[in-house]
Amino acid sequence: MTPPITFNPGPAQVYDFLHEALQDAYRQGILSLPHRSKDFEAIVVRCRQLMQQKLDLPSGYRLLFLSSATEAWEVIAQSLIRAHSTHLFSGAFGERCFTYTRHLHPQATGLSFGIDQDPGTLLDAIPAESELIALTHNETSNTTALPTSFLEKVRRTFPEALISVDATSSMGGVLLPWQQADIWYASVQKCFGLPAGLGVMCLSPQAVERVRQIGERGRYNSLSYLLEKMENNQTTYTPNVLNIYLLMRVLEYIPHIVEIDLRLRQRAKEWYRFLEEHPQWQPLVQRADNRSVSVLGVQGSPQQIQAFKQHALAQGIHIGNGYGPWKAGSFRIANFPAIPDAHFQQLSEVFSTFQTA
């Protein structure tokens, strides 16, 4: 049976070759592999090497494994903030990071901006005492993204603050400006083309030093403890060994991130041009600098959207729903690396036939 085609932005379509990788995992005993074994440690080492080779992760950045990007919100609040952080957000996931952080640190500041607003207009509102500035590189809920020029400006303006970036729906899909932030984290069920259940976090040397300065310990996911165990290429708890193995296989399989980035940007450019010229649909995000490459937002009337999703489903294609305030008036199209060009061609035909449906 052929798996359905899905443009859902997460959990998203997985790489086709995973059925072979899963069989290999079973035959090689990965499903029963102890996480304190040398074989597991070798997989962790290989993942770190491949993150550097394929995604250009700087060699000085530390790789850690979590259960999800959502867990990263709590881990960062526990181990990298003494009292004050500032969170800039335009959508649901950035706002939730702020909300969870405020439970541990009531002095946290939240600054929201509109999906078509220049986020640079908020820099003057960031308190000088901010120890950490939290950003969302690609806001999956409303298909916005932060340009690299903005991250560079934040780094120049606040050189003493740590910069934390949620890259859940962009890591593995676009070339990240790693040096412009100290904490990068993501879940694997989007651009990595894997099933849900694993998070990755990358820490700069400055972030590692802050962990040591604060010295927060006592939790299974305290960063000091996670870093200590990773010295031996291990985790603090029994991890999702299978997904870590599959991450290794994906990183072995994919081309260099520059090639992936170019492919995704070209597809996004073509689709945004198509939407801008379309008589029925428009991009959800009007400001071009704010548009995501990896998740495309489409707006229309609620009735039109519902009919279009049903039309697509009748042809075996799942479309991502809108989210939060944009739920009724938009839908989302994942532009992830695991989705082949042929599927986008089929999606184009769905749009074409819907016009005359």
Mean of pLDDT values over 27-42? 98
**Is 90 exceeded by the pLDDT of residue 1?**
no
| pLDDT tens profile 36-49 | 999 999 999 999 99
Mean of pLDDT values over 18-33? 97
Two structure tokens written together for 50: 């491949």
The sign of the torsion formed by the CA atoms of 129, 132, 133, 139 equals negative
Q: Cβ of 102: how many Cβ atoms within 10 Å?
A: 16
| pLDDT tens profile 70-103 | 999 999 999 999 999 999 999 999 999 999 999 9
Dist CA 240 CA 76 (whole Å): 21
Strands 330-334 and 320-321: antiparallel
Q: Cβ of 8: how many Cβ atoms within 10 Å?
A: 18
Residue 51's nearest CA partner among 197, 267, 233, 201 is 201
CA dist 229 → 43, 44, 198, 225, 236 (Å) = 15, 12, 17, 6, 6
Q: What amino acid is encoded at 191 in this protein?
A: C
Tell me the pTM.
Answer: 0.97
The phi, psi pair for 277, rounded to 5°, reads: -95, -5
**Is 70 exceeded by the pLDDT of residue 162?**
yes
> CA dihedral in degrees (229, 249, 183, 74; nearest 10)?
-70
| pLDDT tens profile 211-269 | 999 999 989 999 999 999 999 999 999 999 999 999 999 999 999 999 999 999 999 99
The phi, psi pair for 230, rounded to 5°, reads: -70, -15
**Is 80 exceeded by the pLDDT of residue 276?**
yes
The sign of the torsion formed by the CA atoms of 75, 80, 84, 87 equals negative
Confidence of residue 355 (pLDDT cuts 50, 70, 90): confident
Mean of pLDDT values over 65-69? 97
CATH of domain 5-12+257-355: 3.90.1150.10
Cα angle: 216, vertex 221, 225; to 5 degrees: 60
Per-domain boundaries in the chain: 5-12+257-355, 18-253
Radius of gyration of the chain (CA): 20
**Is 90 exceeded by the pLDDT of residue 357?**
no
Which of these CATH numbers, 3.40.50.1100, 3.40.640.10, 3.80.10.10, 3.20.20.70, describes 18-253? Answer: 3.40.640.10
**Is 90 exceeded by the pLDDT of residue 340?**
yes
pLDDT at 4: 85
**What secondary structure letter does DSSP report for 129?**
T
Dist CA 298 CA 173 (whole Å): 20
| pLDDT tens profile 287-322 | 999 999 999 999 999 999 999 999 999 999 999 999
pLDDT at 152: 98
pLDDT at 356: 52
Q: What amino acid is encoded at 153 in this protein?
A: K
- Is it true that the peptide bond before 11 is cis, omega within 30 degrees of 0? yes
Mean pLDDT, rounded, of the chain: 97
- Helix or strand (DSSP H, E) at 225: helix 223-230
| pLDDT tens profile 102-125 | 999 999 999 999 999 999 999 999
Two structure tokens written together for 38: 């040398």
DSSP bridge partners of 135:
165
CB 338 within 8 A of CB 193: yes
Two structure tokens written together for 224: 């000091």
